[in-house]
Amino acid sequence: MKFYSTKNKSSSVDFQTALITGMPQDNGLYMPEYIPDLSKIFNQEVKLTFQELSLLIASEFIGKELSKNQIQNIIECCINFDSPNYNVSKDLYCLELFHGPTLAFKDFGARFMANCMGSFIANSKREINILVATSGDTGSAVANGFYGVEGINVIILYPSGKVSDIQEKQLTTLDKNIYALEINGNFDDCQRLVKKAFLDKEINSKIKLSSANSINIARLIPQSFYYAHSYLQLENKHIPSVYSVPSGNFGNLTAGLIAKKMGVPINKFIASTNLNDVVPKFFDTGSYNPKESIQTISNAMDVGNPSNIERIMDMYESIDKLRIDVCSWSFDEKNTLDLISSIYNNHNYLIDPHTSVALLGLLKYKQSYIDRCNQVFLGTAHPGKFSDVVNPAINDTVKLPERLKRVLSLEKKSILLNNNYNEFYDYLLTTFQ
Ligand SMILES: *Cc1c(COP(=O)(O)O)cnc(C)c1O
C-alpha cells in the first residue's frame, strides 16, 4: 500500500519510506491511500485470535513489502500480551491496554514500529537515529521496543520535572542504544525541537533521522488491532457500541477511526481530554486554536497542539462530518481524582488518571444517551505507573508490578539540555555523526 502526505495527496511513498522517514518533507503527515474493507470479519461470528486478527489487518497495509513470514514474526513479537475487556459493571468495560512491558498502551505501537524497522534495516548499512519527544509514556515504550536493536539509536527528549518518577526511571535507565535528553521546557518544546530537526536539510544530510512519535504511521496501524479485537470480544453485539479514548496527541483516536472505517461496528467515539481542551473547544466552536499545554495529573495527555488532528481532518474533511462519529469533552483534575476513588470504592477496580478521564467521557455520554449500549473506556496505563496520584486518591497503596519495582532501583542517566535548537543540533552531530 502507498502512503500520501496530508499536505500533498499526489506524492505518495511506500510503507518502508513512510516508516523510516516518519514525516514527509512538506510538513504533512502520512496517511494510507485507502482503508481496507474488512467488514466481513465483523459482521459474522468468526473466531480469530488476537494474533490472527492482527496479522490479517497488518497484511492489508504492509503485505506488498514484507513476506507473510516476516509479518507473522513482527506480530508474534509485538502482540504477545493480552488486552482484555474488563467487565466493571453491566455493559461497562475497561479495555485494558497496559499489560505490555512498559505497562502502557504505547507498547503496541512502539513494538510494531521497532520490529518493522528491524525487518527493513537488516539489509542497510547506515545507522538510523530515532528522535522521540515524550510527555511520559511514549519514550519508555519506544526505548523498550528498540532496546538492543542493531543499527538503531533512540534519542528521547522529555520535559525536565514534568514526568512522574517512575516514568523518568523508565526513560533514563536503559543503556546500549538508548539516549535520554532532559529538556528545560515542556512537552511542546520537545516536540518542536524534534520537528525542527526533521525539517533541517543540513542535519539530515549528515545523519539519518527518523521519528517514533504518534506522527509515525507505523505507530497507528497496530493500534487499530485492539479496537477490532475488543469489539469481537463483546458479548452483546446487537446493541450499539461506544468507545471513550483518553486523548493527548489523538493518535489512539485516529487508530480507532481507522478501525471504524475498516468495518469495526463502533457507533460513537468519545475523545476525552484533561484540561488541555483545544479539541473539545474545536467541537464546540468549529475553530481550531492550538495553545500552550497545561500540566495535569494525566500528564501523558498534556498536549496543546495535537498533531493527529491533521490526519483526522484529512479523513473527515469538516468538523460537521466529524461530529457524526465523535464527540469530545474536557474534564478537570478534581473529577478525575474523585472518579478514581469512587470506582475503587464501589467496584473494587483501580484505574490510572488517564483511564479515569476516559471513563468520565463515557459517564457524561450516558447522561444524554439513555438506550442500552456497550460502553468501553480505554485503559491506557497501569495505575501503578501513577502511584503518586493514585495512592492519595484511594487512601491506600497500589501494588506495583515486579517490572516497575526493578526499574525504580536503577540509576538515572540523562543529559540536561536547554530548550534551544542549536544546543540540540550540536548534541546530535557530536554524538551520532
Ligand atoms: C499517550 C497517552 C495517552 C494519549 O494518547 P494519544 O494517542 O496521544 O492521544 C493517554 N494515556 C496514556 C497513559 C498515554 O501514555
Mean predicted confidence (pLDDT) in 8-18: 93
User: For residue 87, what pLDDT band results from cuts at 50, 70 and 90?
Assistant: very high
Place of cell 491533521: 310
Instruction: State in Å: Cα 245 to ligand 1 middle.
Output: 9
Q: Indicate the range of 122-131, 178-187, 243-252 predicted with least confidence.
A: 122-131
> Is the minimum distance from the CB of 374 to ligand 1 under 6 angstroms?
no
The verdict on whether 64 is a catalytic residue reads no
> Is the minimum distance from the CB of 115 to ligand 1 under 6 angstroms?
no
Whole-angstrom distance, CA of residue 291 vs CA of residue 211: 23
Measured CA to CA in angstroms, residue 51 lies from 109, 199, 228 at distances of 15, 37, 11
Q: Calculate Rg over the CA atoms of the chain.
A: 20
Instruction: State in Å: Cα 354 to ligand 1 middle.
Output: 8
Tell me the sheet residues that pair with 378.
95
Whole-angstrom distance, CA of residue 386 vs CA of residue 389: 6
> Is the minimum distance from the CB of 137 to ligand 1 under 6 angstroms?
yes
Tell me the sheet residues that pair with 180.
156
Give me the count of residues in the chain: 433
> Is the minimum distance from the CB of 380 to ligand 1 under 6 angstroms?
yes
Give pLDDT tens digits for 115-137.
999 888 876 778 889 999 987 77
**Most confident region among 10-19, 261-270, 296-305 by mean pLDDT:** 261-270
Residues 184, 189, 193, CA angle at the centre, nearest 5°?
105
How would you class 82 by CB atoms within 10 Å of its CB: exposed for 0-12, middle for 13-18, buried for 19 or more? exposed
Instruction: State in Å: Cα 248 to ligand 1 middle.
Output: 6
Instruction: State in Å: Cα 287 to ligand 1 middle.
Output: 23
Strands (E), 186-325: 209-211, 241-246, 268-273
> Is the minimum distance from the CB of 248 to ligand 1 under 6 angstroms?
yes
Give pLDDT tens digits for 367-407.
998 899 999 999 999 999 899 899 999 999 999 888 888 88
> Is the minimum distance from the CB of 382 to ligand 1 under 6 angstroms?
no
What b/e string do you get for 241-280 counting C-beta neighbours within 10 Å, with b at 16 or more? bbbbbbbbbbbbbbbbbbbbbbbbebebbbbbbbbbbbbb
pLDDT confidence of residue 335: 98
pLDDT confidence of residue 264: 97
**Closest approach atom of ligand 1 to CA 254:** 7
> Is the minimum distance from the CB of 252 to ligand 1 under 6 angstroms?
yes
pTM equals 0.90
Instruction: State in Å: Cα 172 to ligand 1 middle.
Output: 20
Cβ proximity of 111 and 145 under 8 Å:
yes
Whole-angstrom distance, CA of residue 76 vs CA of residue 80: 6
- Choosing from 99, 187, 354 the residue with most ligand 1 atoms within 8 A of its CB, the one to mutate for a pocket test is 354
**First vs last Cα of the chain: how many Å apart?**
33
Nearest residue (by CA) to ligand 1, atom 2, is 300
Residues 38, 18, 176, CA angle at the centre, nearest 5°?
110
**Closest approach atom of ligand 1 to CA 98:** 13
Residue type, 99: H
Question: In which order are the strands placed within the sheet that holds 241-246?
Answer: 85-89, 92-96, 374-379, 241-246, 268-273, 326-330
